[in-house]
Structure 1
Amino acid sequence: MKADKTAMVRLLKTARGQMDGILKMMEEDRYCVDISNQILATESILRKVNKEIIRAHMQSCVREGLKQGDEDKIEELLSLFEKMNKG
């Protein structure tokens, strides 16, 4: 992986901690809006990590694949973007 692995791992650990917090909030019957805000914050971190991983993939794997004539890299990205837009 060509993305900044240390930064990505740190962000994912933060998201994992937020998920643990969300579970605890659910178990404690906390206010729905507070829970929803935490879910949105976690989603934001995951989107940021995914964006960075895709960026790094495009700059390395896709670029290299296209140089070698691997047109499947374009289809792979299009499929990924389609999945991202379904959510």
Structure 2
Amino acid sequence: MDDTTRADAIHRLKSVSGHINGIVRMLEDERYCIDVIKQIQAAQTALSRVSENILDSHLHTCVTTAMRGDDPDDRERVLGEITEVFRQTNKP
């Protein structure tokens, strides 16, 4: 992962962390359920964006390098990793 992607991910995750703390406070303050749910959904969306950005970086660096390389085992490994990520994401 390049430095820009890493720095962006760290920044976004720190923001999500603050958002989660805000959700905890909302629950402690017995805020309206729908408002809490909306904030949870916003945090989930933010986490998804971080994941997408990291995946994009991975595809453009590690996967591209493996696909252009001479090692067929390395190619199969990175393809298997991508498949597993999507398998985990799509679990019910």
TM-score (norm 2): 0.87
Matches of residues 31-46 of structure 1 in structure 2 within 5 Å? Answer: 31-46=32-47
Displacement, 1:8? 1.4
C-alpha distance in 2 between matches for 1:30 and 1:54: 35
Matches of residues 7-46 of structure 1 in structure 2 within 5 Å? Answer: 7-46=8-47
Partner of residue 81, structure 1: 86
Identity %: 31
C-alpha distance in 2 between matches for 1:7 and 1:76: 23
TM-score (norm 1): 0.91
Q: Which runs of 5+ in 1 are unaligned?
A: none
Instruction: Supply the AA of the counterpart residue of 1:86.
Output: K
Displacement, 1:66? 1.9
Q: Which runs of 5+ in 2 are unaligned?
A: none
Partner of residue 60, structure 2: 59
Instruction: Supply the AA of the counterpart residue of 2:19.
Output: Q
CA deviation vs aligned residue, 1:3-56 (integer Å, no higher than 9, x gap): 622221111111000000001111111100000000000001000000000010
Number of aligned pairs? 87
